[in-house]
C-alpha cells in the first residue's frame, strides 16, 4: 500500500506551513528548517552542530514551539548527571514507597543544548530513550510517548570544554546538520528587528502531536523503488571502501537514509523516492556516521570531502529494476 497523490499533496502543504511558521524565527535557513522538520516527521533526532551564536538553539526552540505539545530544554554542563536528564526515584515517606520523578526528557520535544559539554556518562543516558523511546530507572521502564524528538546542539569539538560524542550516541541521531551564518539579506532583516529579543516566541504551535504521528505514518508508505534501495546499499558498501574511512555506513544508517528520504519525498508532494532525495540527504544523514582515520586530518580530508567522493563514485540509477 502506498500513499496516494492527494495524501502526498496534503503532506506537502502541511509541511510547507510548518516550514513557513518556523521561518518566522529562523531567517534565511529554509533548507535547514526543512531538514529539521523532516527529522521530526521521520521520528528521528537531529543534531545541530555549529559555532556559538549561529541560531542553533533558536532553531531547536522554533521547532519545539511549532508543535502543539510539551517541550523542555536541558542545558548540558560538565556537572550534569544522568538522573538530571532521565529523572530519579525518590522515597515517599508518607506512602512509604519509592516514586519515580520524571526528568526533562519526558516531553514531546527535548532541546539538549550543548550536548557535548556534558560528560560521556551523562551523554550515554540518552542512548536508550533516543533509540527505544523509554527510560529504565531502577529496572522499571518508563515510555516517553509519541512523538518524541531530541534536538541536540553542540559546538565543534575543537572548542574548549567539550567531549566528543561516542559513535553509538551519534548513530542515534537521524541527522546532523549545521545552521551556518545567515546571508546578508537575512542578517539585515535580523538587525532591523533587533527589538524582538525572543524570535522563537514568534512561533506558535500550528500542528498537533497527533497530526505529526499521522504524517509520519504517511511518510512510511512512500514507495521506494528497488533501484533506489540498491543505490543506498551501494553507497553503504562503497562508504566502507573509501580511503581514510575507518567506520563506514552501518545498516542503521542505511535505514535512516531511506526513512528520511521517504519523508523528504513526501514533503515534495511525491509518493515515491528518487535518487535525488538520497543525494540531497546523504550529507546530513551520513556526516556523523562516517568515522575517519587519523591520516585523514593530515591529508586535509574531512567527512564532507569523503561524502562528496562517495556520491561521485556511485552512479544513481536511471531506470527502474528490470526495465
Q: Which residues bind other proteins (CB under 8 A)?
A: 2, 5, 12, 30-31, 223, 225-231, 233-234, 238, 241-244, 268-276, 279-280, 301, 308-323
Least separation in angstroms between residue 251's CB and other proteins is: 16
Closer CB to other proteins, residue 131 or residue 220? Answer: 220
Contact 302, 235 (CB under 8 A): no
Strand partners, 48: 153, 177
Contact 112, 150 (CB under 8 A): yes
Neighbours of 53 (CB within 10 A): 10
Least separation in angstroms between residue 311's CB and other proteins is: 6
Rounded-to-integer distance, Cα 323 and Cα 319, Å: 7
Closer CB to other proteins, residue 205 or residue 316? Answer: 316
CB proximity list for 208: less than 8 A, separation 6 or greater:
67, 68, 69
Closer CB to other proteins, residue 126 or residue 281? Answer: 281
Closer CB to other proteins, residue 96 or residue 251? Answer: 251
Least separation in angstroms between residue 8's CB and other proteins is: 10
Least separation in angstroms between residue 70's CB and other proteins is: 32
Contact 42, 259 (CB under 8 A): yes
Least separation in angstroms between residue 231's CB and other proteins is: 5
Neighbours of 298 (CB within 10 A): 9
Provide the angle, in degrees to the nearest 10, between the axes of the packed helices 251-267 and 275-286.
130
Contact 166, 120 (CB under 8 A): yes
Least separation in angstroms between residue 264's CB and other proteins is: 11
Can you tell me which residue has the cell 504551535? 205
Closer CB to other proteins, residue 165 or residue 267? Answer: 267
Contact 289, 250 (CB under 8 A): yes
Closer CB to other proteins, residue 12 or residue 199? Answer: 12
Least separation in angstroms between residue 126's CB and other proteins is: 30
Closer CB to other proteins, residue 71 or residue 259? Answer: 259
Q: Which three cell numbers stand for residue 191?
A: 538587525
Amino acid at each position: 500500500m502506498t500513499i496516494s497523490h492527494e495524501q502526498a499533496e496534503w503532506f506537502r502543504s502541511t509541511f510547507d506551513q510548518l516550514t513557513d511558521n518556523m521561518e518566522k524565527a529562523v531567517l534565511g535557513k529554509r533548507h535547514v528548517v526543512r531538514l529539521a522538520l523532516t527529522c521530526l516527521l521521520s521520528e528521528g533526532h537531529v543534531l545541530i552542530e555549529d559555532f556559538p551564536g549561529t541560531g542553533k538553539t533558536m532553531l531547536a526552540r522554533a521547532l519545539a514551539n511549532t508543535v502543539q505539545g510539551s517541550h523542555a530544554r536541558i542545558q548540558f554542563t560538565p556537572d550534569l548527571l544522568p538522573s538530571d536528564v532521565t529523572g530519579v526515584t525518590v522515597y515517599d515517606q508518607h506512602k512509604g514507597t519509592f516514586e519515580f520523578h520524571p526528568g526533562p526528557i519526558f516531553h514531546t520535544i527535548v532541546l539538549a543544548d550543548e550536548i557535548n559539554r556534558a560528560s560521556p556518562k551523562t551523554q550515554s543516558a540518552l542512548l536508550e530513550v533516543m533509540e527505544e523511546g523509554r527510560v529504565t530507572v531502577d529496572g522499571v521502564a518508563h515510555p516517553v510517548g509519541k512523538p518524541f524528538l531530541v534536538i541536540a546542539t553542540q559546538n565543534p569539538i575543537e572548542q574548549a570544554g567539550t567531549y566528543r560524542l561516542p559513535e553509538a550516541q551519534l548513530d542515534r541521531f537521524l541527522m546532523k546538520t549545521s545552521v551556518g551564518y545567515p546571508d546578508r539579506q537575512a542578517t539585515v532583516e535580523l538587525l532591523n528587528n533587533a527589538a524582538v529579543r525572543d524570535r522563537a516566541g514568534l512561533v506558535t504551535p500550528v500542528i498537533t502531536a497527533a497530526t505529526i504521528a499521522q504524517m509520519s505514518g504517511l511518510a512510511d508508505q512512500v514507495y521506494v523503488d528497488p533501484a533506489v534501495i540498491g543505490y543506498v546499499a551501494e553507497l553503504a558498501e562503497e562508504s566502507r571502501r573509501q580511503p581514510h574511512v575507518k567506520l563506514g555506513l552501518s545498516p542503521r544508517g542505511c535505514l535512516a537514509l531511506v526513512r528520511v528520504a521517504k519523508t523528504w519525498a513526501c514533503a515534495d508532494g511525491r509518493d515515491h523516492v528518487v535518487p535525488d532525495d538520497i543525494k540531497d540527504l546523504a550529507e546530513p544523514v551520513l556526516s556523523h556516521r562516517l568515522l575517519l582515520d587519523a591520516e585523514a586530518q593530515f591529508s586535509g580530508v574531512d567527512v564532507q570531502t569523503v561524502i562528496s567522493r562517495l556520491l561521485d563514485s556511485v552512479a544513481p540509477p536511471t531506470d527502474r529494476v528490470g526495465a
